Amino acid sequence: MNDFIPPAKPLIGDEERAAVDRVLRSGMIAQGPEVAAFEKEFSEHFGLGRACVAVNSGTSGLHLGLLSAGIGAGDEVIVPSFTFAATANSVALTGATPVFADIALDDFTLDPASVESFITDKTKAIMPVHLYGHPAKMPELQAVADKHGLMIFEDAAQAHGASLNGTPVGAFGVFGMFSLYPTKNMTSGEGGMVSAANDEIERNLRLYRNQGMLQQYHNEVVGLNNRMTDIHAAIGRVQLTKVDAWTKQRQDNAAFLSANLEGVIVPAVADGAVHVYHQYTIRVASDRDGLAKALKDEYNIGSGMFYPVPNHRLKTFQRDYHLANTEQAALECLSLPVHPSVSQADLERIVTAVSTLAKAGA
């Protein structure tokens, strides 16, 4: 059988190994100068035009962002149900309630009309997810937020370098969080980067990251230890020099798949949007699970389902209402390998396999 095509593959090279070695030899391995440099370089690289604060995971970044914006018990934050559990978990961990709205099926991101239907007098914010690397419907969401006096927070975990009408994701909200987990578009090992809309949010992020202190023993709030290490930051700094070429490769791979796949719904890209294809997600109208199994068993091609169980159906949240598009997407979504290590021969194998299986199953 042909070699296995994995659904994701972190790329770590000699430069990352050398950078880690440099930090280890320096004897300064916790948060220090590498983290400070990474924060500046990350903001500049993605043109965010605002300060960034590095933390030990994307989930920590969301949690600290929410705390920094004053979210807590009694508040409601509207999130998509169709996302990774970290989005809603971070809201719940502040003591606030995640309220799940539906998505639009064109780009799998929050549907502004659905969001508006869930607003109550407890609603404080909307937290869209730029799912799969496609920007959420920011102008429409901003209009809803403005009408009701709400904040916008961005879960940009999957969207390093994505933009809408020239504005990079992470530059729209009160804060924007990028994950640096190994399967994301770039990594630091584990880690997260949070952009801050203003000095107060930046200061709060730095406080909550480090026990509520900016200065040793001057504790201003009850905080956590969510610091990034210099070891991780050194990896991230190297990855920043490579991520643009990887993104270009993802976009080229996606273009080939979209031009050639048959029998499935390929991902759309909104006008004015730059999609960075963290995932290349098709919709399979009938027997998605069977197609995924046959891809693996008959063609040795990996795939992923992000996400087969909507958050409002998880045991942790259990909300008894129907979100039609979310539930349809959960049944139909299938993410095909699109990462930079996928070769032209791999792409051709994927096209043949998916198109053949989709026709047989239709």
Ligand X SMILES: *Cc1c(COP(=O)(O)O)cnc(C)c1O
Q: Please choose, from the candidates 230, 245, 244, 228, the residue with its C-alpha nearest in 3D space to the C-alpha of residue 193.
A: 228
Q: Please choose, from the candidates 325, 294, 278, the residue with its C-alpha nearest in 3D space to the C-alpha of residue 133.
A: 278
Which residue's CB is nearer to ligand X, number 31 or number 158?
A: 158
Q: Which residue is nearest to ligand X (CB)?
A: 58
Give the count of alpha carbons within 13 A of 44, CB side only.
Answer: 9
Min CB(57)–ligand X separation in Å: 4
DSSP helix/strand/coil, 115 = helix
Show the site string, 286-315: x = touches ligand X by CB under 6 A, - = not: ------------------------------
Contact between 83 and ligand X per CB under 6 A: yes
For the chain, helix, strand, coil in percent to 5 are 40, 15, 45
Pairing of strands 163-164, 167-168: antiparallel
Min CB(256)–ligand X separation in Å: 24
Min CB(59)–ligand X separation in Å: 3
Site for ligand X in 239-258 (CB under 6 A): none
Alpha helices in the chain (DSSP H): 14-26, 33-45, 58-68, 85-93, 112-117, 138-148, 199-209, 230-240, 243-260, 288-299, 324-332, 344-361
Stretch that binds ligand X, among 56-64, 282-290, 293-301, 348-356 (CB under 6 A): 56-64
Say if CB 150 and CB 125 are below 8 A apart.
yes
Min CB(287)–ligand X separation in Å: 26
Say if CB 171 and CB 195 are below 8 A apart.
yes
Min CB(219)–ligand X separation in Å: 26
Stretch that binds ligand X, among 23-31, 70-78, 79-87, 95-103 (CB under 6 A): 79-87
Could you please report the per-residue DSSP string of 198-217?
Answer: SHHHHHHHHHHHBTTBSSTT
Near ligand X by CB under 6 A: residue from 16, 34, 55, 57: 57
Question: Could you confirm whether 184 is annotated as catalytic?
Answer: yes
Contact between 129 and ligand X per CB under 6 A: yes
Near ligand X by CB under 6 A: residue from 64, 103, 157, 264: 157
Min CB(157)–ligand X separation in Å: 3
Near ligand X by CB under 6 A: residue from 68, 81, 97, 179: 179
Instruction: Measure the CA dihedral 56/134/101/111, to 10°.
Output: 150
Near ligand X by CB under 6 A: residue from 5, 67, 78, 86: 86
Which residue's CB is nearer to ligand X, number 169 or number 257?
A: 169
Near ligand X by CB under 6 A: residue from 42, 84, 277, 299: 84
Cis peptide before 132 (omega within 30 of 0): no
Show the site string, 188-227: x = touches ligand X by CB under 6 A, - = not: ----x-----------------------------------
Min CB(306)–ligand X separation in Å: 8
Q: How far is CA 13 from the centre of its chain?
A: 23
Contact between 58 and ligand X per CB under 6 A: yes
Which residue's CB is nearer to ligand X, number 81 or number 87?
A: 87
Radius of gyration of the chain (CA): 20
Near ligand X by CB under 6 A: residue from 59, 97, 114, 281: 59
Q: Please choose, from the candidates 286, 298, 311, 299, the residue with its C-alpha nearest in 3D space to the C-alpha of residue 337.
A: 299
Residue 179 to residue 85: CA distance in whole angstroms: 14
Sequence-distant (6+) residues with CB within 8 A of 184 are 58, 157, 158, 160, 178, 278
User: CA separation (Å) from 190 to 49, 59, 143, 337, 339?
Assistant: 24, 10, 34, 22, 19
* Amino acid residing at 90: S
Contact between 158 and ligand X per CB under 6 A: yes
Number of residues that bind ligand X (CB under 6 A): 14
User: Exactly one of 122, 124, 137, 184 is catalytic; which is it?
Assistant: 184
What residues line the site for ligand X (CB under 6 A)?
57-59, 83-84, 86-87, 129, 155, 157-158, 179, 181, 192
Active site residues: 184
